[in-house]
Amino acid sequence: MSKPRYITTPIYYVNDRPHIGHCYTTGMADCLARFERLARGTPAGDALSGRGVFLLTGTDEHADKVVTSAAAHNMTPLQWADRNAAEFRRAFDFCGFAYDDFIRTTQERHTSRVEAFIRELLRRGDVYLGDYEGWWDESQEEYLTETVAHEHGYQSPVTGRPLVKRREKNYFFRLSAYQQRLSEHIAANPGFIRPEARRNEVLGRLREQLQDIPISRAVGSDAATQWGIRMPDDPGHRVYVWIDALFNYLTAIDTPERSPLWPADVQMMAKDILWFHAVIWPCMLMALEKPLPGVIYAHAYWVREGRKMSKSLGNFVTIEVMEQYAARYSLDALRWYLFTQGPHGSTDADFGHGKFVEVYNADLANGLGNCASRVGNMIEKYFGGVIPCAAPLTPAHPDFDWPALCEGAGRGALEAARGCDVAGALQQGVDLIRKVDQFINVTAPFKLAKTIEADPAAKGTLAAILVQCAEAVRIASILMSPALITKAPALWRAWHCVPPEGTPLADLVRFGDGPGSLRQGGVITKGEALFMRADPAEAPPA
């Protein structure tokens, strides 16, 4: 019996509201989870069986900057965290993300278990008390090594603010003890850190000797230093927010029903937090004798006008902007743009209105939408909207071996998704639609239709062509459905071909004779156009 898949996203800081970057990472994870559910034929709501897929997201609430922003808004840190955690949930619900749990680090189920994990590390001698002096990046709440600080001219690599020299008594994690094992693991598992450029970056930094890292902060009299989980048996120290946060991937599933989820299969994030996830986290896991996650995937950034978007710079694409795009072009169009044009590899992506409209028209309005309505219209016109026969398995044209094309597309989509290439997986559906368009151009069913009266045999050929088109569109729509969560189901309802629940993708993409195939006598209703064409000259909605 295989293990349920476990996919995680970072947990986001609640000092501010969510934006496109957060939605993108959780969206990539949502799309991967949906491909995986398709692949396995996961029954609805099943996250924990051998065919299950579990998607975790949430919020990271013990950062010092949460205390600062809360004070600026006359709220307690927890009130402020409650408010922003709710904003994150709202944003993710608006985006249609099907997460199975949303963890907040202020929840008791998390805090009590963090304490237990740290106790375990203390017991094993992997956490000890010592002195620390280092370069502190206030804006990112992290210490930087001398090398990194020097490389960046003693300024924050992210915000450019000056670094501050700090000294404190701290609990340390014995990171140095696990460097060798980690390096070996990375060498033996080329897919562990992805994409390739990020893996090389980590390998480069691992050539230097790692120092043990401080994992606690002093508790003082001011409010900011009291916010956080206390070190076990030492109320003068609290757990460093990053260590607290990393544990969420374990605390969320630390119940008897959920424990089979570990190790995580994919941990998704952006490149800013790769070091914590690709180095510190695996070493902590080794210290706890837990298996390491399958893939640590760090995508690049969404940028605006060529500049990094960040809370510190305040120049991000907000949820309001995203809502306006969804209102004008549909939520699915927004999801499509994010997942196909986003910074999924190692290059940053610009959020641009012109590009949005171009992609929307090409892939959706003129792509799936137009192709589905052309095919639907012809079946209605020539066959009264009733599917005249099962889709023939032998090609109506020698260049279009539909069973092979569709199975190939399904396999390709799955391979891409398993490699975390969401855009590549969705592209398989687009390519299949382009094939259908070519097939229509080559076989010219509209011309053939004019000969039916004179030549009744032509009607059989016409039926074969159109049913092949419709069946290929059905399969393309399934491959695009992890992004198109309302439009693909709308098409299935109109064509009476909702995929049977619990059917794995390999069967759903079976052309003509699969459990989800269009059947002779099935009815194709002409619904509304799935996607209206967008006018490239129209001003951006926001």
Q: What are phi and psi of 16, to 5 degrees?
A: -145, 180
Q: How far apart are CA 59 and CA 376, in angstroms?
A: 45
Angle between helices 77-94 and 20-40 (to 10 degrees): 50
Tokens (6 digits) for 283:
């070493």
Residue placing its CB nearer to ligand ME8 in the complex, 8 or 468: 8
Residue placing its CB nearer to ligand ME8 in the complex, 281 or 439: 281
Q: Count CB neighbours of 366 within 10 A.
A: 15
Minimum CB distance to ligand ME8, residue 70 (Å): 16
Residue placing its CB nearer to ligand ME8 in the complex, 26 or 42: 26
Minimum CB distance to ligand ME8, residue 421 (Å): 17
Minimum CB distance to ligand ME8, residue 341 (Å): 13
Give the strand pairing for 5-13 and 266-270: parallel
Which burial class, exposed, middle or buried, applies to 413 when counting CB atoms under 10 A from its CB (0-12, 13-18, 19+)?
buried
Minimum CB distance to ligand ME8, residue 200 (Å): 19
Residue placing its CB nearer to ligand ME8 in the complex, 21 or 512: 21
Cα 356–509–37 angle (5° rounding)? 70
Residue placing its CB nearer to ligand ME8 in the complex, 21 or 429: 21
Residue placing its CB nearer to ligand ME8 in the complex, 292 or 378: 292
Q: Give the length of the chain.
A: 542
Residue placing its CB nearer to ligand ME8 in the complex, 88 or 511: 88
Strand partners, 268: 297
Q: How far apart are CA 164 and CA 134, in angstroms?
A: 8
Residues that bind ligand ME8 (CB under 6 A): 10-13, 21-22, 24-25, 60, 245-246, 248, 269-270, 272-273, 301-302, 309
Minimum CB distance to ligand ME8, residue 12 (Å): 4
The amino acid present at 47, given as its one-letter code, is A
Residue placing its CB nearer to ligand ME8 in the complex, 60 or 471: 60
Minimum CB distance to ligand ME8, residue 125 (Å): 25
Minimum CB distance to ligand ME8, residue 177 (Å): 22
Tokens (6 digits) for 231:
């070190």
Minimum CB distance to ligand ME8, residue 104 (Å): 12
Residue placing its CB nearer to ligand ME8 in the complex, 160 or 521: 160
Minimum CB distance to ligand ME8, residue 268 (Å): 7
Closest of 59, 58, 41, 63 to residue 50, by C-alpha: 41
3-state helix, strand, coil in the chain (%, to 5): 50, 15, 35
Eight-class DSSP state of 19:
B
Closest of 60, 59, 103, 48 to residue 251, by C-alpha: 103
Residue placing its CB nearer to ligand ME8 in the complex, 115 or 471: 115
Minimum CB distance to ligand ME8, residue 22 (Å): 5
Closest of 247, 475, 255, 507 to residue 375, by C-alpha: 475
CA–CA distances in Å: residue 539 to residues 218, 305, 529? 52, 17, 23
**Using CB atoms, what's the residue nearest to ligand ME8?**
21
Minimum CB distance to ligand ME8, residue 25 (Å): 3
Minimum CB distance to ligand ME8, residue 474 (Å): 34
SS3 73: coil
SS3 491: helix
DSSP code per residue over 123-161: HTTSEEEEEEEEEEETTTTEEE-HHHHHHTTTB-TTT-P
Residue placing its CB nearer to ligand ME8 in the complex, 21 or 52: 21
Residue placing its CB nearer to ligand ME8 in the complex, 250 or 470: 250
Q: How far apart are CA 115 and CA 466, in angstroms?
A: 63
Minimum CB distance to ligand ME8, residue 273 (Å): 5
Contact 31, 333 (CB under 8 A): no
Residue placing its CB nearer to ligand ME8 in the complex, 12 or 102: 12
First-to-last alpha carbon distance for the chain, in angstroms, is 49
Eight-class DSSP state of 506:
H
Strand partners, 19: 318
Eight-class DSSP state of 1:
-
Cis peptide before 445 (omega within 30 of 0): no
